[in-house]
Structures are given as C-alpha cells and as structure tokens.
Amino acid sequence: MVGQTRTDSVSICPNTPLEHQKSRIDCNSVTMLLALPLEFSVKCCFWVCFMTNIKVQIGWGRTPRDIQVPKSSRIIEPRRTNEAVLSQGRLLDAIESPIGMPGLSELAQAAEKICILIPDESRKPIPDFILPMILSRLSGRNVSVGIASGKHPVVEAPSGQWRHDASSPSLVAAGTTSRGTVVEFPKRVLQADLRILIGEIRPHYFAGYAGGAKTLFPGVAGEKGIWHNHKLKASPFAALGKVDGNPCREDMENAARFAGPSFIVNIIRNHVGVPVDVVAGDIVDAHRAGVEIARPHFEVSLQSRSSVVLVSDKAPVTNNLYQACKLLPVAARLLLDGGTIILCAACEDGLGPIDIINEAIYRLGMVPILPSNHRVVLVSSQPAERVEQSFASYGSSVEAVLAEMEATDPLILPYAGELVPVLSESNATP
C-alpha cells in the first residue's frame, strides 16, 4: 500500500472558535496531505480530522512555553483561590502565637545561640521580609544562617551565611532513628540552643508534603543518613500528599528531634505561587496544621485515568532531570497500564547525575508507584544522546510525541508540581 494516495475527503469543523484559529490546519494543508503516501497521510490526517489543536502554556523552565495539544485534551490546573497576599502582620501573629510551642520572642530569651536554616536555590525563594522579621526578634543573640542544601552540590554561600555539605567529615553523630537511620548534623546546628527552620509546605512525592522537619533532615544531615532515609520511599505509604503513617516523613521527624528544640516557619502559596499563609511552631504539630491549610490549594479531584499524561512545571523543579523526576508521581496516579508520561522540562542545567537518577530516583522511588508497563518520554533542551543515557526516551517536541502516539484525550498538567491528584473512589485502583 505504500505509495498509494488518498482520494477520500477530509472534514474540518467550520465552527472552530476564533481563539483557536491560529492552531488550525487549513484547507491547503489538507489538499497537500491527500497527495502524500497513504501510511504517512493517515497519521497526518488523523490530526486534521480529529484533533483541532489548542494552545496551552506549560511551566517548562525559567520561562514558560506554549505547546499545541488536541482540543479534546483534559487540562488539569491548580485550584484558583482568592486569599490575600501574606502580610508581615500575619507573619508576626504566626511566630508570636505559634502551634505547639511558646512564641519566638519568648524562646529567644532563653537561647544564647540560634541557628536559622533556609532553603537552597533548588527551591522557590522565600519572601524577602521573612528573614529580616525573624532576625528582628533575635536581637542580642548569637545567630548563624545556614543554607539547607541536603546532598545537593556545594557552591559558595552568600556573604554572612554558610552552606551545608552532606559529605563533610566534620559532621557530628547525633543518634540513630527507630528505622535505623544514622543522624549526623553540623556542629553549629547541634550547639545551637534553638533552630529556626524556614521553608514551604507544598506537595512532595515521597514525604507527602514538604516543609516541617525536612529543612533540618535531610536539609543539613549527613549523606549516609539521607540515603538510608530515602530508601524508605519504596514503601507504598511514602506517597504524594500523605503525611501521617508515611515512614519516610516519620523517620525525618524522628531524626530532626535529635538536634534539639526546633521552630518552623513555613509558608503556603496559592495557585500562582504567591504566599498567602504561614504556620509556625513545632516541627510536627505546626506542619500538620499547615498541611491542612495547603490541601485545598493543591488537591484536585479527577474521575478517570488516561493512557497519556503530560507533566511540566516552572523552574526550579525543571532545571534538571534530577529535580524534574518529582513530577512523575503526579503522573503515576493518573496513568493507565501501558501508558506514556510526557515529561516536559527544559533541563537548562543539564540532566544531573545519571547513575543516581536512574537507580536511586527512578528504579527505587518511581518504578514501585508507576504502572508495571509504562514509558517516560523526556522533552527538554538536552540532546538525544544525553537523554538516552537516562531511564527516559527522547522526545523532540510535545507535538511530535503526541502525533506519533495518535493521542486523542491526553491529560495535560502544565504545573504538575502544584498538584495532588485525587481519583474518585471507584477509580482509585488501576
């Protein structure tokens, strides 16, 4: 049949909305398709007949990107809310009337040395007014500010701050958790009378939700303990959106207690990334209260899965594949057996350590939660030869991948890192 041309007609809906006109294939294109060899024209005409496209903006990287997807796609986005932007007054109320602990001013009076821990560049920046306001309550105290970078690459810290090195031989043993995790922290963290952990409560693929104790462990922990803790993510209970009964999170909180009294200050952002609330206090009690505030911002209900799920998000999570893997568990909840995940991440900083990505992240953390038969296609700025070294297949563009698969109703999650999908009970089990 190769070489045979089509002689039948192709129907294009004449009522395409004006906003979709630019993404239509016009009649001249159809005429050209009819002159092509049958096998090629069938695939192209598939798009013409059934897939009048729409433009969708995805997070992609440091700048968003527009893609063309079938009009029949299901676009899943974070819930829109109308809360006021987080104010300094609300922050002050939270730190002086915290959950499960005395106010910060009272705690500071009894503390000579105080260690403040803040997120590194792989996380969204905290609002500019938070650190100065906290420092203003600590007048006269010996305060250090450390960057909680976990086992991320060590780079020079800004002036007046220090950066954690998980492989440093100077880390001090603090104990061992009930699950066998060896806990080590920097001496200055252990010598402090109070630790203040600044972070954010948002979905996390194996800790349930980020924030709380995570800034301390694994934020400033030793790499041996971090690796042991992260092996717990193979448990089915170490899941996106689940905090209570999550062995990975409970082990983190157990480990953090070895450091001594710690006070969290965790923000919650809305659907466009604007801070709208904050919780402060005990690393567990305040965190759980914050998770309940955060759930309505992130959790979305869906009725069914799909054979094609596209996930993306803006930087920093899409700066490299190492971080972008965090989007896969979101897709895993929505993927049918035999389906394909299209991971759209600019990866402007490269892919990251391939061996760790393939083994510790994908095989250990992702395979157990993905359908047994699945495929991951990475659409990024990286060359095919580099991508093929990873667990993912190479995709030149979203449009090319969708065309190859003849996908009619993909699920599109432009900002998947902001989502915790919740399937209806009847569809919760694949």
What are the tens digits of pLDDT across the range 72-81? 999 999 888 7
Whether 381 and 394 have beta carbons less than 8 Å apart is answered as no
CB atoms within 10 A of CB 264: 33
The pLDDT value recorded for residue 50 is: 46
Q: How confident is the model at residue 37 (pLDDT cuts 50, 70, 90)?
A: low
Provide the sign of the torsion angle of the four alpha carbons 94, 99, 101, 102, taken in this order.
Answer: positive
CA distance 187 to 117: 14
Residue 34 CA: distances (Å) to CA of 3, 8, 31, 95, 408: 12, 8, 5, 68, 21
> What pTM was computed for the model?
0.83
Average the pLDDT over 278-303 and give the result. 96
Residue 409 CA: distances (Å) to CA of 46, 242, 320, 395, 419: 13, 29, 28, 19, 20
Give 3-state DSSP helix, strand, coil % of the chain, rounded to 5.
35, 25, 45
Q: Which is nearest to 132 in space by CA: 143, 121, 123?
A: 143
CA distance 24 to 5: 23
CA distance 358 to 26: 43
Say if residue 6's pLDDT is above 60. Answer: no
Beta strands in 201-305 (DSSP E): 203-204, 208-209, 262-269, 275-281, 299-302
The least confident of 73-87, 223-237, 334-348 is 73-87
What is the percent of the chain with per-residue pLDDT over 70, rounded to a whole number? Answer: 87
**Domains identified in the chain and CATH numbers:** 1-50 (no CATH), 52-79+303-427 (3.90.226.30), 88-297 (3.40.50.11440)
The pLDDT value recorded for residue 49 is: 41
Mean pLDDT of the chain: 88
What are the tens digits of pLDDT across the range 125-149? 888 899 999 999 999 999 999 999 9
CA distance 422 to 403: 29
Bond preceding residue 218 cis, omega within 30 of 0? yes
